[in-house]
């Protein structure tokens, strides 16, 4: 038995999320479902894959990882080319295939993940990046943006940025953000978040919150330590569009 790791990228708008769902209608495509379908065609046997991150519908990935088990040795280059021939038009590209230790698991072995969200106020220069950029209308104070992002770092209960679900009272909302920040590239601002785990819609809620903070709508005392204010923290419920969100990498 061999354990193979596959690194892929994909355009999220083409799929109803990454994870294959047993209750999904057959016409709702998922990234994992399409990859398994092609693996079955190429290897002539059903294959189950295990993904690193369960990205939502519309969310893109620059580096997503899957592992799968297979009895025989596989030529990595051959498999990569065969899969790309069948997957490229669907919006999936296989970047790498390699063998890993039998104990490796794409999700369970992951130490952290990095996400990025693209924003801009420049309609003209963002036209050809649409729909991968969120357009904001009011100017940002970049010093306040940094304060807002820095205030999210550390190990906290991120319930204020989590979905309200009374059926999941025992859900673990503790996450640790190792780093947050932004990079400016011309008219484009890339907000990034590096953490051990992320809750459903957490990144898209945090982006809206830090943008409102940088636009002067949130008291600086809250921005410095939002977790001390609990439910009093404003602008934490809005979920921004998924298309400007990218899974940048998974760290092992």
Per-residue tokens: 176: 């640790």
User: Cis omega (within 30 of 0) on the bond before 21?
Assistant: no
Sequence-distant (6+) residues with CB within 8 A of 94 are 6, 7, 8, 79, 80, 83, 84, 87
Cβ proximity of 140 and 123 under 8 Å: no
The CA distance from 239 to 89, in Å, is 29
Query: What is 221-248 written as a DSSP string?
Result: HHHH-GGGTGGG--S-S----STTEEEE
In the DSSP assignment, the letter for residue 27 is: T
The reply to whether 157 belongs to the active site is no
- Backbone angles phi and psi of 44, in degrees to 5: 60, 40
| Active-site residue identified among 56, 71, 150, 165 | 56
Report d(CA 160, CA 53) in Å as an integer.
Answer: 22
Question: Are the C-beta atoms of 115 and 247 separated by less than 8 Å?
Answer: yes
- Answer yes or no: is 69 a known binding residue: no
Of the candidates 8, 63, 52, the one whose C-alpha atom is nearest the C-alpha of residue 246 is 63
Q: Which residue positions form the known binding site for substrate?
A: 115
Task: State the binding site.
Answer: 115
Known catalytic residues? 56
């Amino acid at each position: 038995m061999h354990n193979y790791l596959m690194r892929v990228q994909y355009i999220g708008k083409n799929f109803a999320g990454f994870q294959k769902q047993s209750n999904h209608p057959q016409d709702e495509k998922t990234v994992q479902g399409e990859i398994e379908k092609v693996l079955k065609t190429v290897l002539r046997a059903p294959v189950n894959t295990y993904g690193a991150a369960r990205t939502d519908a519309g969310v893109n990935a620059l580096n997503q990882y899957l592992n799968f088990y297979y009895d025989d040795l596989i030529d990595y280059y051959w498999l990569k080319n065969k899969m790309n021939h069948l997957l490229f038009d669907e919006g999936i590209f296989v970047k790498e295939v390699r063998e890993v230790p039998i104990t490796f698991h794409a999700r369970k072995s992951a130490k952290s993940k990095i996400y990025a969200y693209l924003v801009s106020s420049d309609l003209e220069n963002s036209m050809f990046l649409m729909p991968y950029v969120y357009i904001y209308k009011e100017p940002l104070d970049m010093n306040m943006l940094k304060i807002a992002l820095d205030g999210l770092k550390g190990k906290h209960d991120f319930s204020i940025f989590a979905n309200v679900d009374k059926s999941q009272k025992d859900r673990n909302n503790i996450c640790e953000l190792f780093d947050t920040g932004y990079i400016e590239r011309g008219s484009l601002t890339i907000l990034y978040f590096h953490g051990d785990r992320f809750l459903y819609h957490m990144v898209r809620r945090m982006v809206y919150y830090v943008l409102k903070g940088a636009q002067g709508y949130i008291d600086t005392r809250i921005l410095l330590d939002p977790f001390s204010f609990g439910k009093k923290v404003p602008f934490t419920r809005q979920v921004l569009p998924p298309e400007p969100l990218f899974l940048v990498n998974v760290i092992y």
